[in-house]
A and B are shown apart, each in its own frame.
Chain A
Amino acid sequence: MAEPMKIRATLQGDVADIRVLMAHPMETGLRKDAAGKVIPALYIRAITAHLNGRTVFQAEISQAISRNPVFAFKVKGAKAGDRLEIIWEDTAGDRRADEVTLGAS
């Protein structure tokens, strides 16, 4: 099971400023190990963010995203107490979902 994401969300008016760090190797499938064997591709391919269960942000990404991906995005119409959930899914079908409550420190 993958490690939890680190999610930081700060409210500025009704805009939630979100920054998320995901623990993931993001293997491209182009690298070789010491023995010259190709390391198989394994990377996060999709990300979804929900605000109180409603989808507000979606991304489809490739192996060109750096290892341990960091993304920032902004969600409008947010307020303190709203639940923000972020989900990623990788090419092996592994998933990770984490949640924060806005305005809580």
Chain B
Amino acid sequence: MVNRSRRDALRRVGASGALFAAFAAGVIRPSPALAARNQSAFDAQTMAEAMRSLGIAGTVESQDIQIKAPEIAENGAVVPIEITSTIPGTQSISVFIEKNPFPYTGTFDVSQGALPFVALRVKVGESSAVRVVVAAGGKYYAAAKEVKVTIGGCGG
């Protein structure tokens, strides 16, 4: 029997043989996080609005979140950021770049077997605070770091 919608879905993703095999073996599953994507938070144009959409409220400033980022980034298109949380029971790490057109940059779920750490590379449109919110035990903890972006690579 042909499952029409599944066939169409496979065609849409341009399935190669390998991908088809992965589907057939049940290796690729729809993840609950995908279904639950909070698009309104991603579409928010201010950090406050994005946090409201995500239900983040009552954040406590914490020394237990370490943010490693360059103080001055010559190339705003590739700014490396490394985040480590030492807050017990850290479930997720969310990143906001305050002055970007869409400040909400993403959430990293480490509650299922990962350590409370993530490194990523982000675009920073202009000098801005990079704000990190950690969810742990039903509470939110926050820390921030300023990143200066030099225009044309010769400013200061």
Taking a contact as CB atoms closer than 8 A, the residue among A69, A74, A87, A94 that contacts B14 in the complex is: A94
A-contact bits for B98-125, CB 8 A (1 contact / 0 none): 0011101111111011110111111100
Given A58-B31, A94-B14, 6 extra CB contacts under 8 A: A1-B14, A1-B19, A62-B105, A63-B102, A64-B106, A87-B28
Whether the Cβ atoms of A55 and B117 lie closer than 8 Å is no
Cβ–Cβ < 8 Å partners of A51 in chain B = 113
Residues 43 to 67 of chain A near chain B (Cβ within 8 Å): 45-46, 48-51, 53-67
Nearest CB of B to A1, in Å:
6
Knowing A71-B119, A75-B113 are in contact, say whether A89-B106 is a contact too (CB < 8 A).
no
Interface size bracket, A side: 35 or more
Q: A73 CA to B121 CA in the complex, in Å?
A: 13
A-contact bits for B107-148, CB 8 A (1 contact / 0 none): 111101111011111110000000000000000000000000
Interface size bracket, B side: 35 or more
Whether the Cβ atoms of B34 and A89 lie closer than 8 Å is yes
Query: Is residue A36 contacting chain B, with contact meaning CB distance below 8 A?
Result: no
Q: A46 CA to B114 CA in the complex, in Å?
A: 17
Contact surface of B with A, Cβ cutoff 8 Å: 12-14, 16, 19, 22, 27-28, 31, 33-34, 37-38, 42, 77-79, 82, 97, 100-102, 104-110, 112-115, 117-123
Contact surface of A with B, Cβ cutoff 8 Å: 1, 15, 19, 28, 30, 45-46, 48-51, 53-67, 69-77, 85, 87, 89, 93-95, 97
Whether the Cβ atoms of B121 and A69 lie closer than 8 Å is yes
Q: Top 6 A-B pairs ranked by shortest CB distance?
A: A61-B106, A72-B119, A56-B113, A74-B115, A66-B121, A58-B109
Closest residue of chain B to A48 (Cβ to Cβ) is: B31
Nearest CB of B to A71, in Å:
5
Of the candidates B82, B102, B113, the one having the most CB atoms from chain A within 10 angstroms of its own CB is: B113
Nearest CB of B to A38, in Å:
13
Q: A28 CA to B77 CA in the complex, in Å?
A: 11
Cβ–Cβ < 8 Å partners of B42 in chain A = 62
Q: A28 CA to B28 CA in the complex, in Å?
A: 27
Knowing A1-B14, A67-B77 are in contact, say whether A72-B118 is a contact too (CB < 8 A).
yes
Whether the Cβ atoms of B121 and A70 lie closer than 8 Å is yes
Whether the Cβ atoms of B16 and A55 lie closer than 8 Å is no
- 16 A-B residue pairs with CB within 8 Å: A46-B33, A46-B34, A46-B37, A54-B112, A55-B112, A56-B112, A57-B109, A62-B105, A63-B123, A69-B120, A69-B121, A70-B121, A73-B118, A74-B114, A94-B14, A97-B28
